[in-house]
Amino acid sequence: MTKVFLKKKIQNRVLQGHPWIFGNEVGEIQGPVEAGDIVDVFTHQGFFVGRGYINPQSQILVRLLTRDKNEIIDAAFFHRRLQKAWDYRRKLGYVENCRLIFGEADDMPALIIDKFNDYFVLQTLAMGMDKWKGAIVDALHKIFSPKGIYERNDVPVRELEGLSQQKGFLSDAFDTNIIINENGLQFHVDIENGQKTGYFLDQQDNRREIERIVKGGDVLEAFCYTGTFSCHAGFYGAKSVLGLDISEHAVNTARRNAQLNNLQDICKFEARNAFDALKQWTKEEQKFDVVILDPPAFTKSRENISKAVTGYKEINLRGMKLLKPGGFLVTASCTNLVPPALFLETIDQAARDAKKRLRQVTFQTQAKDHPILRNIENTTYLKFLIVEVS
């Protein structure tokens, strides 16, 4: 097996548990290198570090799969990992819908699998993981006997690995428009054409957190996508709910979700630019009891972090100004390049500029089926904050 030796000065991050090895961290490679092959990684002194897959075309040269030198990477390995991940989710109560595999947090770098009841959506985002797609699908069949498996590999990051973008069935064809249950409500999920894998499971716990603050109130949700927070607000007793999203398709789905839950008289949706609406309504001094802000990622590159922070500050400042005294701001960021401390500081700056005082109700991360590894910073990507604004 090909051997990869780390440089002496920059190997500590890997030794401390991070599974990524960048090209500039490697001092020597002994043996042939073909993209996707399994290699053994050693310290500069020759001590075994781990075993993973290599891709010289990628900035991340090696992604480690195991640190057990006796563990062989074969089809049985992937079956064991999937079974272990499923056992963990079941212990935490995530049985019907969950992120079954969350990449590095489940020791399966560049693999995402979402479970929607009896249907599974899979993403293999690196060459080394894509090579084992067949074994992964076989393991899903053996463990779950699913009604369907679909791949959503229509993501640009695959091209950095020398992979094409693609999507399609990895099982017999099935109707990709399904309905799932969440917190006592039902939601349409478009597996084939929805964002990411079709639905944002990472907010399923956070959506319950608005239950007490929305009762009897007028609620605004900007960047509502398919209206999941909005429908929860209506379900939890809001007097009125208005959801905004720039996508007409998303808004139509939001309306269908409201109707599915008999909330069409309470939850209304408009297809419009949320930035423009927040700015206009601030000038008009419109007021709400609760403002919910759950925007898409404002940046996917480090070069644009400052622009992302500016965007978060603007929408949160305007959200605060739209609240009645003692109203609640529900705000989130899914940009993994904006760490929790920076996100909270941005909210604090917005409050200072808006001349508002914030009292924290809760600060949370993603749902527990998206595990956080304390030694891998980017597994903490979602920030979710509720504050009372006065």
Tell me, what DSSP letter sits at residue 351?
Answer: H
Residue 339 identity (one-letter amino acid):
P
CA 316 – CA 307 distance, rounded (Å): 14
Q: Would residue 224 show up in a list of annotated catalytic residues for this protein?
A: no
Q: Is 287:323 a contact under the CB 8 Å cutoff?
A: yes
∠ CA 251-101-94, rounded to 5°:
70
Tell me, what DSSP letter sits at residue 193?
Answer: T
Output the DSSP codes for 283-306: HTT--EEEEEE-PPPS-SSGGGHH
- Kindly state the tokens that stand for 64: 């480690």
Q: How far is CA 217 from the centre of its chain?
A: 29
CA 366 – CA 200 distance, rounded (Å): 10
Q: Torsion angle, CA of 104/106/112/118, rounded to 10 degrees?
A: -170
> From the CB of residue 327, how many other CB atoms can be counted at a distance below 10 Å?
22
- Kindly state the tokens that stand for 164: 């094409």
Distances (CA, A) of 149 to 83, 117, 191: 17, 11, 10
CA 385 – CA 362 distance, rounded (Å): 6
Strand locations in the chain (E):
3-6, 20-22, 26-30, 38-42, 48-54, 60-66, 97-102, 111-116, 119-124, 148-153, 166-169, 177-182, 185-190, 218-222, 240-245, 267-271, 288-293, 323-333, 358-364, 383-389
Output the DSSP codes for 12-46: HHHHTT--EEEGGGEEEEES---TT-EEEEE-TT-
> Which residues are known catalytic residues?
334
